[in-house]
Amino acid sequence: MRLIPLFNDATEFGVATLLELGAPPAPGFRAGSVRLAPGQRVPAEGLSVHAADEVSYVVAGSLSGVCGGEEFKTFAGEVSLIPAGEEHWAVAGPDGAEIFWCWYGNVSG
């Protein structure tokens, strides 16, 4: 077994890729974490879209934003699924947000 810390206390805010498995053409897997400051938006401008499905678990705090053209809010303890190809953006709530995320599929971009 390999223990992988979700968050590194030395990094105040940002995205970390924790684990990556698989190689094309087989489906890949990438997992990571992100710590967002209160009001921090991801991406900083525009929309984000991935070729892989994204599952996110909100460890702490909250997020709101738009995914697939629909507004959402999600809170600590909740899990979300963003299908591959779906445009999205989010902003951290008043207490910031800590998220553990996984991509499955084409993780190259």
DSSP labels, 40-90 = -EESSSS-B--SEEEEEEEEEEEEEEEETTEEEEEETT-EEEE-TT--EEE
Within a domain: residue 8?
Answer: no
Residue 11 is classified by DSSP as -
Q: Identify the CATH number of the domain in which residue 60 sits.
A: 2.60.120.10
Q: Which domain holds residue 74?
A: 14-105
Report the predicted TM-score, pTM, of the whole model to 2 decimal places. Answer: 0.80
Question: For each of the chain's 109 residues, which pLDDT tens digit applies?
Answer: 555 666 655 555 666 666 666 665 567 888 888 999 999 999 999 999 989 999 999 999 999 999 999 999 999 999 999 999 999 999 999 999 999 999 888 877 6
Query: Are 76 and 17 within 8 A, CB to CB?
Result: no
Task: Output the pLDDT for position 27.
Answer: 72
Q: Give dist(CA 85, CA 3) in Å, integer.
A: 31
Q: Is residue 66 part of a domain?
A: yes
